[in-house]
Amino acid sequence: MLRYIAKRILETIPVLFVVITLTFFMTRLAPGRPFDSEKETTPEIRKQLEHFYGFDKPLWQQYLIRMNQLLHGDLGRSHKYISRTVNSIIAESAPVSLKLGLLALVFALVLGMAAGILSSLRANSLTDHASMSLATLGICLPTFVLGPLLVYVFALRFGWFNPSGWFMPSDRILPALTLGIYYAAYIARLLRGGMLEVMQQDYIRTARAKGASGLRVLFRHALRGGVLPVISFLGPAIAGLITGSFVVEKIFDVPGIGQYFVTAATNRDYGLIEGLVIFFAVLIILMNLLVDIVLVWLNPKLRFE
């Protein structure tokens, strides 16, 4: 396993190199400059700012300087938030987005697995059709529609939660639900399909013939194989829960990393854009590696190759 992990980490080096290179040149070649939005900035001051950040150098020199910074673990400085580094911005805001993503993942797993198991146990029944219809509705509803609907019903009509903010524990529920329902729908459909396939296997019939109870067959034998498609889905799902929280953070005024990404793109903040892209790239790579390890642990037929 250690050799497998080391190999996967070595394989990520060229991937990160390509991501960093593409991000660097795409931000530089996009229309607009970092200080174009500064309406009161004179040409002389703008020239000094560009010299301070090295934007007056040839593009290849900027690229080499940037790569040298990244090799030393320095993500650079923000051009919008002049007094702050990209490292400090990520260190402050990333835990909020990670907390929101983990809460959304908990909601997605609880709702999705409950609906998937119930549908598989009562296949082609009214319960099955109702659960899968709700799952399809959850897939079709985008977060920018679902979020305001939840705010209107549970915050404005019933007054159970605050419509926005990130101050009390109850403020986490609506953003996490908005972000997690979409993935709960996918988990329900994947688990239903996996469970229906596993329930037809010979070892399930053997367990039943030996007199094993229904709950033992379900949780001891069937669920371990039926959950494999869900585990495979969790790698990109976790990354999507983190990166997909931008809209949710905007709707519910959550002080996460999404607001900085949107601001960085609007203001052509090269350093912040590149730093956030690298952060998300590393996060996605780590999540996929963790999912691969869990898959091999759950399925003995797979090997660390």
pLDDT at 58: 81
pLDDT digits (tens, 9 = 90+) for 83-94: 788 888 888 888
Residue position matching structure tokens 């030996």: 210
Average pLDDT of the residues of the chain: 79
Between CA 181 and CA 226 the distance in angstroms is 21
Residue 105 scores a pLDDT above 80: yes
Name the token pair of 132.
């899968």
Between CA 190 and CA 187 the distance in angstroms is 5
Beta bridge partners of 77: 85
What value does the mean pLDDT take over residues 138-146?
80
CA 26 vs. chain centroid, Å, equals 23
List of residues 6+ apart from 116 with CB closer than 8 A: 131, 187, 188, 189, 190, 191, 192, 195, 230
What value does the mean pLDDT take over residues 237-243?
74
Residue 20 scores a pLDDT above 80: yes
Q: Are 229 and 194 in contact (CB under 8 A)?
A: yes
Residue 255 scores a pLDDT above 80: yes
What value does the mean pLDDT take over residues 267-285?
83
pTM over the 0.85 mark:
no
Between CA 122 and CA 124 the distance in angstroms is 6
Q: Which range is least confidently modeled, 124-138, 154-168, 169-183?
A: 124-138
Q: Tell me the pLDDT band of 220, cut-offs 50, 70 and 90.
A: low
What value does the mean pLDDT take over residues 180-195?
84
Q: Tell me the pLDDT band of 16, cut-offs 50, 70 and 90.
A: confident
Q: Which range is least confidently modeled, 140-144, 217-221, 227-231?
A: 217-221
pLDDT at 206: 74
Please give the residue that has the higher pLDDT: either 39 or 213: 213
Query: Of 18-22, 269-273, 280-284, 300-304, which one has max mean pLDDT?
Result: 18-22
Between CA 264 and CA 161 the distance in angstroms is 31
CA 92 vs. chain centroid, Å, equals 18
Residue 238 scores a pLDDT above 80: no
How much of the chain, in percent, has pLDDT values that exceed 90? 0
pLDDT at 39: 57
pLDDT at 33: 67
Helix, strand, coil tally for the chain in percent (to 5): 75, 0, 25
- Domains in the chain, ordered, with CATH? 86-298 (1.10.3720.10)
